[in-house]
Structure 1
Amino acid sequence: MSRTKGEKKAIAKKLLHKYRLVILNEDTFEERVSFKLTRLNVFILVGISAIVLIALTTLLIAFTPLREYIPGYSSTKLKKQAFDLKRKTDSLATVIAINDQQYASIKKVLTGDLKTIEFNKDSIQDKEIEVADITIQPSKEDSLLRATVEAQDKYNLFETATRSADFALFPPVKGMITAGFDSDSKHYAVDVVTEKDEPVKAAADGTVIFASWTADTGHVIIIEHQNDLITAYKHNASLSKQQGDLVKAGEVIAIVGNTGELTTGPHLHFELWNNGYPINPINYIDFK
């Protein structure tokens, strides 16, 4: 139903009808500020204010970091930050895993805590009997060759000649062995008596993974080498290397001493570990 001409004039008159907005002093009723307004002016002012407010809010969100707080919003910068954080987390997890393995190895060396390995003694005995029943007479040339090879490989830590050529063990000190390797008493080392203040040398190239003081064994230094080999030097008077240092075979790393509760005189307590298990050092190093 269309409006009549009179109704349109009435609506226009209402929109253009003037009103006065007056601000008075409550006590004196003195007029302070007054505004002449029409309903049309009010509608226009409110509409413009709303448009400006929406525009400012849009600009504020679009060009400031506030947009990152909007749920579901994703930007290239945020994705890159998330990727970098994930990569750093993975790297830290790898470092923690490596450190845990290293700490486990150090703990074994310091405490001598080993897992018991069970062998089938009956099967070993049967094999020995079978071999004993076989009689083989080696030739003179074969005997000479065997003696030569045994002399060359006396201190070979590895099974193949190729690997042993790449890796040799240097005697940390020279002296008399007063206590040998004994797994029954959990003495996984050799005690070498030498002159006090004699230099202790690295048995092979490697990285120092522990260099500190312990109550039982005094100044201790532990070196990690290639082929899962670890050497430990205990009861030192002082240490010349720190954790993380790279050392060469024959390089001085400590001074022979008599530190710690488990010592009765100046000597070097030397341990050799391979794949987390102790092995007898005199089989691979000549301390004389």
Structure 2
Amino acid sequence: MKKKIKKRSILKQKLVDKYRLVVLNEDTFEERFSLKLSLLNVFVLGGVLSFLLIFITTFFITFTPIKQFIPGYSSTELKIKASKLAFETDSLKRKLDVLEDYTRALQPILRGDIKADFIDTLSTETEKVFIKDSLLNASREDSLFREKIESQDRFPIQNRALEKVKVVFFAPLNGNISEGFETKSKHLAIDIVAPKNTPIKAAADGAVIFSGWTTETGYVIILKHASDYITVYKHNGNLLKQQGDFVKSGEVIASVGSTGEFTTGPHLHFELWSGGYAVNPLNYIDFR
């Protein structure tokens, strides 16, 4: 027991014993400064310095941008940016897949493996307009009523155009008509051939109700006029008006192009509709 007490007193004495640290000039042995310390002072000073070092390091890591350089650490801002880039990458991948499918579908046509027939986009629309009477089970009263109506003039707008037309139409484009209006082939329009980038003008005053891209007919612009008339301009190269714009007769709205799957070269596919029915533009407009 006495030995243990003696050892403790010796250890305590070593901790409290003072030691002098003297710094001398090597040439003159002049004392520069001296420092009187004990082992206990050294331990306390080292502990304080270690605590300060840990505190300062923690502060910089927590409250300064230096934390971003620590391996394995990611801030909330970096996570948001990474998520946004991941979504954009996925969107670009989807667009690339669509573009590859589109290019793959075009390759047989470009190589001449497929002979594309002339197909007009109105084929689906005209099926709704022209109804075969044979498909209707008409009663006797209905048949008599039909005979009465058929004996009259069912299309006064087409037969007496000059009397009924309240809108004055002008030619949207000067050029050669390559294909005319034909109901049998369901080509309910006229095709006007002209050089590429030739200005296309509004046939009459009206409002733009559609201006955009379609796969079959490329850039399309549709105008609504007074008296329930609608004009349609397809296969354009560029569109100069947007949906909701009001245009004046003769105002440039687009340019001649050859866009869309069903185009046969630079031309304007021009349609004229009245009351929901397609009419022959040559009955209303002088293209000479």
Measured against the shorter chain, the TM-score band is: 0.3 to 0.5
Structure 1 length as normaliser, TM-score?
0.47
TM-score of the pair, normalised by structure 2: 0.47
